[in-house]
Amino acid sequence: MTDGQPILKTSLLDLLYELRDRQMPLILGGGYGLYLKQVHLQDTLNSPTLIAGELWPAPRATEDLDILLRTEVVVDASRMSLIRAALDRLEYTAIEGAEYMQFVKQLGGGRIVKVDLLTGPLGPFADDPRVKVDDRR
């Protein structure tokens, strides 16, 4: 593991702990999600793959947690407030310009961890007045 990965693991476990009593389906994506999947496959794989495990690149992750939320969670203010309250308890602050979906925690020594809240296709919520879409990806 590189230096940032234990921080990401601890940060993810802290967030999951804060949401433990809630019906809050979270999907971990991005670089850290891929990292955990690759480590899991390398540790437990018993099935053949197209590329032999020893030829896989070294697992790596980025400095953030990309948390994918179902659209019905994002449009529900009460459910989103549970996530925001958990982030507040963990001392994350909102990133200016993305106050509802991006958060950062200062860890000291110049280290940070970011949480990005993302959602997928809007589906039946595309025309919902509670949905605000901008040009960011």
DSSP 67-87: EEE-HHHHT-HHHHHHHHHHH
At which residue do the structure tokens 């969670």 appear?
Answer: 73
pLDDT of residue 117: 94
Bridge partner residues of 105 (DSSP): 113
Asked if pLDDT for residue 3 goes beyond 50, the answer is no
Whole-number pLDDT of residue 59: 63
> Is the CB of residue 64 less than 8 Å from the CB of residue 114?
yes
pLDDT exceeds cutoff 70 at 14: yes
Options 1.10.150, 3.40.50, 2.60.40, 3.30.460; which CATH number does 4-41+56-123 get?
A: 3.30.460
Q: Is the distance from CB of 125 to CB of 72 less than 8 angstroms?
A: yes
What is the mean pLDDT of the segment spanning 20-42?
86
Q: How many helices (H) and strands (E) does the chain have?
A: 4, 5
Can you give the residue ranges of every domain in the chain?
Answer: 4-41+56-123
Read off the pLDDT band of 90 (50, 70, 90).
very high
Q: Read off the amino acid at residue 61.
A: A
CB-based contact 24:79 (threshold 8 Å)? yes
Answer yes or no: pTM beyond 0.85.
no
Confidence at 60, pLDDT banded by 50, 70, 90: low
φ/ψ of 85, rounded to 5, equals -65, -40
Average pLDDT of every residue of the chain:
83
